[in-house]
Structure 1
């Protein structure tokens, strides 16, 4: 038995006047699958829709060639990203129109279009669902690099902050979780095709159904089997942590001009927290965490911050716009001690294009003068990747960095027993963006076996336990503080030990499958051409 597309359903000659119907049905199926994929993401708890989305995509790709596969994959991707990234409209406001949102969505959809096209190539190999899933996940790697430094938002694994697949993050991070989701989906598509096929009863035998059944069920069973190994117990005691959310106006881009108000809000909320602690309404924390860029800071004297941390009497990680003596700006998380003042600082490495850095500034200025208002930040080097504070080591992933694998991983390698995720989401209003980002932090918690403290300027702030569960959280656009106890853990997960090699292995397997698929296609065409030449020669003779 060869597990191919062509042996499942032979092509039939369409009736005249009805050629548009299969095309339209596939187009609607690809579009509907993109909607399902969007619905699987936070703030909804519908993680199980993600594999069904790839089932629909697999059915739409069935029996197609590269060009059609690219088209259906692109439609799937466009539908998904247009819905998933609507928060860009709130960020930019009416003055920019829909073009940045449409342009970014279409650009990202090209990767899923390519996945659809290459999926039709590897679908002719034995074990087709495996190779199709690998192609989808492998193309998430270049999407984290290009364009403009990459944009990994909407990775398949990020649809799984809970559910059967999440435990696999402790084995292979977001790439393995995403692969398992896509494999289940494509496996179910092939199973349905085998059951519906009228071409061969042999394909509906246990032997013929073995591969698609295994592809459908094994990822789910593997995820469930790994759950008991996900560590949550304290290994070096616990820490009581407070996340401060000072709030910010729902003003979109106008936040660029309201830095002073943001700092005042967080100083006021910290003062309220101090009073609650002294009155016994809140437990005394061992560590306080402020959001990203909540206040300005610089080397040397910072009277407001020194006074605030000193009066609070608790070590604090301050998210600050850190200005060097030469005027250069850093997006930094600074360790602040009540007695000794500011100490180590982590500098954000993955800067947001057009928010913290301006690629192609000359060209961008021709498109919009907005970029002239962007004060570019200095990119961090990752040294240090973890800070020493409150008697422990904490790893950092500032805002946008939660979408990338390396910042938290580097912190763990430097001994982090806890992860912090300070963020400033006030730009994006009451959209789904904050919830999408929280879902990433939940996956990171399981991936690294660490609690994650999400401290956001305007929400959603949250205390995430090492199993990805949220023990407490805030509402959007409210001033609030969370105080909770979290375990300190030192054990490295298998995902941390393997590092990026899991991703590299998946990419290598996908490249090998695509190369094999093209080689077999070329060989088949060459054989067909030779047969036709021989037949023509026989006819002449």
Structure 2
């Protein structure tokens, strides 16, 4: 057992190294194989310990950037994420006793991944296997099978590797067949890429205005942040007038480019109007808007500001960050005065709409910050006609961490999954324009100010991944429930059988 625990501990660290800032995606299959080998053969009552240790090292390493919020927040959040590896261990113990166990074990991994990505309080999707597949053959499967499907493909590669390790000497031909089959499935999307039809083009500008000071306290300098984006847009207008850059059809500002309601705050409104009038095209402004009639709540929105007209369509962030943008069960679990919770006097209300917003006659799927990591938001808007994707993000607290790179990688993968160009605007990094094949047309690095102007393609083609939506996740969760129920039923029947046999044996002995 100590050796198994050691293998699991190391395996968790190896899996974390597959993600940015290390980014060695090929480490995922050996890490998953190490986890399976550390569990296989154990009873369910003991199997949870190696997987918990795996989950601890993986969670704390891959999301070490949460320390920027506070060490206490990092410890608490990662402890919760690691706890999901307890049922994973039990499930793997059950699965590895079945025929074709690499398939069932992979389904258990992905099922737990989907579960923790949505629960509790919207969950934490960072660390999904698919999110480390940029620039790998696995990523080419995204338009076909989506994020959940790609995670399953990676997990199956790992569990099959464990099977090969166990059976290589006994069944070399069969082991080679398993490896060859996985290779064919993995490479097939590269050989048969999904074909997209481009219906037009538009020119988009993304503004990264940067933040003064150390770049981590946007509340203290929110006026300067807005002024930076106003000045950058006015400079862009001057460059367009001088013929230095092409004129954009619309401009994208990042999340929290104004931290006050631009309809109620005169200074913010004046700055946005000046920028919009200068460039002469709509600006998608990232704003914190008040909830009418409720001083205790706010909305995190992308608001289309039309020159000379004011506010147009809006997108409201669907996944506010618990204990970062709102306090669940305010006052009943953790005191409002604890640590940085004092900085959250009002709760952010989650959005529910999936209709794309219209900017300059283009239907756009918008996502705000962590929204990009959830499956239903961007895909749901694309399924309803969005021709382009924008991602507005702040990430100010994480400006000195690998979270910036991890999130930008997810934006790249969403481009592949949806078959859309993706325009990312961040306050101080990473901003960029991503092609539908996941490659980066242009970008601005962390802690820099910059303006990106790019002519991007538009499309109404719906990829199979967008068409199937969130159903793969639901089906794999259904598998977890069904498998657990079958194990419970089998266990109860065996216990009843043992109780029934006992008295009969006693009577026979007496006779």
TM-score normalised per structure 2: 0.91
CA distance in 2, matches of 1:540, 1:195: 53
- Tell me the equivalent position of 1:470: 440
CA distance in 1, matches of 2:396, 2:121: 23
- Tell me the equivalent position of 2:385: 415
CA distance in 2, matches of 1:378, 1:456: 20
| TM-fit CA distance, 1:187 | 0.7
Among 164, 167, 177, the alignment partner of 1:191 is 164
Q: Deviations over 1:390-446 (max 9, x none)?
A: 221000111011111111022113210001110001111310111111111112111
Q: Deviations over 1:252-307 (max 9, x none)?
A: 76322321121112112222323333333333222211100111343387222112
- Tell me the equivalent position of 1:449: 419
Among 310, 334, 349, the alignment partner of 1:341 is 310
| TM-fit CA distance, 1:218 | 3.8
> For structure 2, which runs of at least 5 residues remain unmatched after alignment?
none
CA distance in 2, matches of 1:325, 1:540: 82
Are the counterparts in 2 of residues 251 and 427 from structure 1 also a CA contact under 8 Å? no
Among 331, 336, 344, the alignment partner of 1:374 is 344
1:367/1:125 CA distance change after superposition, 3 Å: farther
1:436/1:486 CA distance change after superposition, 3 Å: same
CA distance in 2, matches of 1:62, 1:35: 20
CA distance in 2, matches of 1:538, 1:188: 51
- Tell me the equivalent position of 1:32: 10
Determine helix, strand or coil for the equivalent of 1:43: coil
CA distance in 2, matches of 1:431, 1:536: 69
| TM-fit CA distance, 1:522 | 6.2
Moved more, 119-128 or 235-244: 235-244
Aligned residues: 504
1:256 correspondence with 2:256: no
| TM-fit CA distance, 1:349 | 1.7
| TM-fit CA distance, 1:532 | 9.5
CA distance in 1, matches of 2:467, 2:429: 33
Among 455, 461, 464, the alignment partner of 1:494 is 464
CA distance in 1, matches of 2:340, 2:483: 45
Determine helix, strand or coil for the equivalent of 2:475: helix
| TM-fit CA distance, 1:133 | 0.8
Are the counterparts in 1 of residues 298 and 349 from structure 2 also a CA contact under 8 Å? no
CA distance in 1, matches of 2:24, 2:155: 15
- Tell me the equivalent position of 2:123: 150
Are the counterparts in 2 of residues 421 and 454 from structure 1 also a CA contact under 8 Å? yes
1:76/1:217 CA distance change after superposition, 3 Å: farther
CA distance in 1, matches of 2:37, 2:497: 29
CA distance in 1, matches of 2:338, 2:494: 52
CA distance in 1, matches of 2:496, 2:36: 28
- Tell me the equivalent position of 1:356: 325
Are the counterparts in 2 of residues 236 and 490 from structure 1 also a CA contact under 8 Å? yes
CA distance in 2, matches of 1:538, 1:384: 69
Determine helix, strand or coil for the equivalent of 1:497: helix
| TM-fit CA distance, 1:338 | 2.5
> For structure 1, which runs of at least 5 residues remain unmatched after alignment?
1-22, 93-97, 197-202
CA distance in 1, matches of 2:90, 2:490: 16
1:61 correspondence with 2:39: yes
Are the counterparts in 2 of residues 251 and 429 from structure 1 also a CA contact under 8 Å? no
Are the counterparts in 2 of residues 232 and 467 from structure 1 also a CA contact under 8 Å? no
Among 395, 409, 429, the alignment partner of 2:365 is 395
CA distance in 2, matches of 1:384, 1:205: 51
1:133 correspondence with 2:106: yes
Are the counterparts in 2 of residues 230 and 449 from structure 1 also a CA contact under 8 Å? no
| TM-fit CA distance, 1:140 | 2.4
CA distance in 1, matches of 2:11, 2:20: 17
